[in-house]
Structure 1
């Protein structure tokens, strides 16, 4: 994905902070640090490309080190989308706030709470990466996504199995966008979540 100079500069600052903080708190696997751009940033930028939104509320669940939430907020800083990054770990939330401050992002709020304790967000967009099995994520989407909202869930090679498992309890529609950074992985664009299932 081609990004603006401003986005590139902000991602560089974010990457430097990630490298510095990662030795103190486990934000990403240390083995992936040398491949930050390809393994993490490019991976998350795909979501921004697929979503293509220009306004509304975007809630990123279990933000951790800010993937994909911070990358999405950085790449969408010229839009009217407001981002809420939800992270229950105090130290990780402090890291996220540091990045927001250092990159001068004005479109992001960090929420240091548990996902299930948060009041319903009625979000236009929801995202999550490496957070929980799809079945569990559905409960979060039912709670926090607007009826007309879309979720973008980054899933590994076992995503088909996760869809089958989730469908035992939940009804939902989805489009699987093949990942460009990991063979067999997918970004699931999920809509119409409702309790039910097979």
Structure 2
């Protein structure tokens, strides 16, 4: 990754992940040398796909801030809330927000199912839970007219089939350019089937 003024915050973020990862497992240790090329590049796809999104954004189960921090860096116009129950990861996220001067970021250290409904216009999640369970979290926190952006692995199609047994939704699947077979699921009109 070439360092420029535009990507400098992403480079600082990658450095913070590398610094904290031995103490708090933010990314799999086997992928630590691929922070930019795998994790951040994966999240930048979401930034591009969701370029027209407006309104409050909630990143559920933020962990190390992927994709929430990347989104906040590249979309300073959006208020981004990071919902992460692990207090240590919450401390990491607060450090990142402070050191990168991300004034558009708020961190909530609560469980997704316990936090008061946030009615966000947009919700994202990456590697959080199987889609049928994830849909209940999305439904709890998404504005009825909102949009969910869910980053799913190779089994996303079977997860969609399972979720449709309980949930009704409109789906636009965006093929991942960083993980063959993976997709970013753009969901709207989410309700019980």
For the superposition of Structure 1 and Structure 2, which TM-score range results when normalised by the shorter chain? Answer: over 0.9
1:52 aligned onto 2:51: yes
Could you report, residue by residue, the CA deviation over 1:154-197 in whole angstroms, capped at 9, with x for unpaired residues? Answer: 0001000000000111111110000000111000001111012x
CA RMSD of aligned residues (A): 1.6
**TM-score, normalized by length of structure 2?**
0.96
Which residue of structure 1 aligns with residue 114 of structure 2? 117
Kept after mapping to 1: 8 A contact 2:17/2:26: yes
**What secondary structure sits across from 1:192 in the alignment?**
strand
Whole-angstrom CA distance in 1 between matches of 2:3 and 2:35: 18
The answer for the alignment partner of 1:158 in structure 2 is: 155
Asked whether the 8 Å contact 1:55–1:82 carries over to 2, the reply is: no
Cα distance in structure 2, aligned partners of 1:146 and 1:166: 19
Q: Is the 8 A contact 1:7 1:74 kept in 2?
A: no
Q: 1:192 aligns with which of 185, 189, 192?
A: 189
Partner of 1:65: 64
1:36 aligns with 2:5: no
Task: Quickly say closer, same or farther: Cα 1:6–1:59, change in 2 above 3 A.
Answer: farther
Q: Deviations over 1:108-136 (max 9, x none)?
A: 00100011111111111000000000001
**Is residue 117 of structure 2 the alignment partner of residue 133 of structure 1?**
no
Runs of 4+ in 1 over 2 A off after TM superposition: 2-7
1:81-105 per-position Cα deviation (integer Å, ceiling 9, x unaligned): 1000000000000000000001011
SS state at 1:115 partner:
coil
Between the aligned partners of 1:4 and 1:126, the Cα distance in structure 2 is: 29
TM-score normalised over the length of structure 1: 0.94
Distance 1:189 1:71, change over 3 A: same
- Deviation per CA, 1:58-103, whole angstroms, max 9, x where unpaired? 00000000001101111112x2x10000000000000000000010
Runs of 5+ consecutive residues of structure 2 not aligned to the other structure: none
Distance 1:102 1:174, change over 3 A: same
Q: Residue in 2 aligned with 1:175?
A: 172
